[in-house]
């Protein structure tokens, strides 16, 4: 049962989103996510939920696992997170940068496209 | 193989065995080379291993391996993307010519990799975000893409001075067809054709130049000339 690993991944992924809030880890019981941006939290919660689903078979009957699953449920409701890939229903404001789109994220952060380098190995 | 580094070093190297082309926080690329003929100094890349390290919300760790005559258009686990995570589609693999060409797009780190097989050797070409290429610690100081080949691994002029079955004039004519500018790629082509005696080696240098044209941000740097350190002066080395 890898629930502790899921917990650790969730904590590390929300650490970078926090602004000084207390770690709202879902260790063994419904935690509270302190001061975390909602869209980033929703994405972290979806990853967390996916992780718990993947380890569900081997965690049957494990209290930490069931607490985590319920804790995730509560937080997703609390933060109005959707189950699919988008963040909470947003009333206004630009969409959150996709953490897996390096160029878009870099451009948004620096106001210019990233620099690139080229390397090659060929022939004999 | 001939190695063009991030900083436009252009070396012809021995690097027999497994050597790291890249080793940073996001990527590990290793090339395994062996002599083109028994006892020859010139070697050619027969195997490439690429590890895409896992990234929290984007991808699971993925390993790609290619060998001569086995260029799969899938990662080692059979998948063709970064896995089930929300950003899994930011890593993808496809081919334009099964068995000869594979392109891996790693959008989560602003990286594109092309692997080719020509004339019984593997070629590797990468375009990577500068910030990603620089993300390594002092212990990861051996990366052929960063510093070129160590001096002990570069073929000296005399070592390059080995005659093959084809005359230098024939080699130059064959290379000139696809490489009209007599730059480092042209000299590499002449060297390869001379050493291997195989005219198909012209394709390796031509496609390497095409990839450089596609990947270099500054085309001023596309053609490197023998005045740059370590360029194989094949034509000059064979008077």
Over range B55-72, report the average pLDDT.
94
Kindly state the tokens that stand for B54: 């896992």
Instruction: Quick: pLDDT tens for B43-52.
Output: 789 999 999 9
CA atoms of B160 and B189, how far apart (whole Å)? 13
Instruction: Name the least confident of A97-111, B25-39, B173-187.
Output: B25-39
Interface test mutation site (partner B, options A2, A83, A112, A119, max chain B beta carbons within 10 A): A119
CA atoms of A109 and A97, how far apart (whole Å)? 9
The full DSSP string for B88-107 is GGGEEEEEEETTTEEEEEEG
Predicted local distance difference test score (pLDDT) of residue B162 = 61
Q: Which residues of A touch B3 (CB under 8 A)?
A: 119-121
Asked if the model's pLDDT at residue B65 lies above 70, the reply is: yes
Neighbours of A92 (CB within 10 A): 4
Q: Which of residues 110-129 of B touch A (CB under 8 A)?
A: 110-111, 116, 121, 123-129
* B99 phi and psi angles, rounded to 5 deg: 90, -20
Q: Which of residues 147-186 of B touch A (CB under 8 A)?
A: none
Predicted local distance difference test score (pLDDT) of residue B176 = 97
Q: Which residues of A touch B189 (CB under 8 A)?
A: 123
Predicted local distance difference test score (pLDDT) of residue B59 = 94
Predicted local distance difference test score (pLDDT) of residue B29 = 97
Over range B210-223, report the average pLDDT.
96
CB contact under 8 A, B132 and A50: no
Compute chain B's Rg from CA coordinates. Answer: 18
Name residue B31's beta-bridge partners. B19, B48
SS (H, E, C) chain A: CCHHHHHHHHHHHHHCCECCCCCCCCCCCCCCCCCECHHHHHHHHHHHHHHHHHHHHHHCCCHHHHHHHHHHHHHHHHCCCCCCCCCCCCCCCCCCCCCCCHHHHHHHHHCCCCCEEEEEEECC
Closest-CA distance, A50 to chain B, in angstroms, reads 8
Compute chain A's Rg from CA coordinates. Answer: 18
Across the interface, which of B43, B57, B132 has its CB nearest the CB of A124? B43
Instruction: Quick: pLDDT tens for B66-95.
Output: 999 999 999 999 999 999 998 999 999 999
- Whole-number average pLDDT of chain A: 74
Q: How confident is the model at residue B157 (pLDDT cuts 50, 70, 90)?
A: low
Max mean pLDDT among A41-50, B13-22, B169-178, B220-229 falls in B169-178
Predicted local distance difference test score (pLDDT) of residue B16 = 86
ipTM rounded to 2 decimals: 0.91
């Amino acid at each position: 049962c890898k629930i502790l690993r899921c917990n650790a991944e969730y904590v590390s992924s929300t650490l970078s989103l926090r602004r000084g809030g207390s770690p709202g880890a879902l260790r063994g019981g419904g935690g509270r996510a302190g001061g975390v941006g909602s869209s980033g939290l929703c994405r972290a919660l979806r990853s967390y939920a996916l992780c718990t689903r993947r380890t569900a078979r081997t965690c049957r009957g494990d209290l930490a696992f069931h607490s985590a699953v319920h804790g995730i449920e509560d937080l997703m409701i609390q933060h109005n997170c959707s189950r699919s890939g988008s963040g909470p229903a947003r009333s206004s404001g630009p969409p959150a940068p996709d953490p897996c789109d390096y160029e878009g994220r870099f451009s948004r952060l620096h106001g210019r496209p990233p620099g690139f380098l080229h390397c090659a190995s060929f022939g004999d | 193989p001939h190695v063009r580094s991030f900083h436009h070093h252009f070396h012809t190297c021995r690097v027999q065995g497994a050597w790291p082309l890249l080793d940073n926080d996001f990527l590990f690329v290793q090339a395994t080379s062996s002599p083109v003929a028994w006892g020859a100094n010139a070697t050619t890349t027969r195997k490439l291993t690429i590890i895409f390290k896992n990234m929290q919300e984007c991808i699971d760790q993925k390993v790609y391996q290619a060998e001569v005559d086995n260029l799969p258009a899938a990662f080692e686990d059979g998948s063709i993307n970064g896995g089930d995570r929300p950003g899994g589609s930011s890593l993808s693999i496809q081919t334009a010519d099964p068995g000869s060409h594979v392109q891996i797009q790693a959008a989560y780190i602003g990286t594109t990799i092309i692997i080719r097989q020509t004339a019984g050797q593997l070629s590797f070409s990468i375009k990577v975000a500068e910030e990603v290429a620089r993300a390594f610690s002092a212990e990861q100081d051996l990366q052929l893409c960063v510093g070129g080949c160590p001096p002990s691994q570069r073929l000296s002029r005399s070592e390059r001075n080995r005659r093959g079955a084809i005359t230098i004039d024939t080699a130059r004519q064959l290379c000139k067809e696809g490489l009209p500018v007599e730059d480092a790629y042209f000299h590499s082509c002449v060297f390869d054709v001379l050493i291997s005696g195989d005219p198909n080696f012209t394709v390796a240098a031509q496609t390497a130049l095409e990839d450089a044209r596609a990947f270099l941000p500054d085309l001023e740097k596309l053609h490197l000339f023998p005045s740059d350190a370590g360029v194989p002066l094949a034509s000059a080395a064979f008077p």
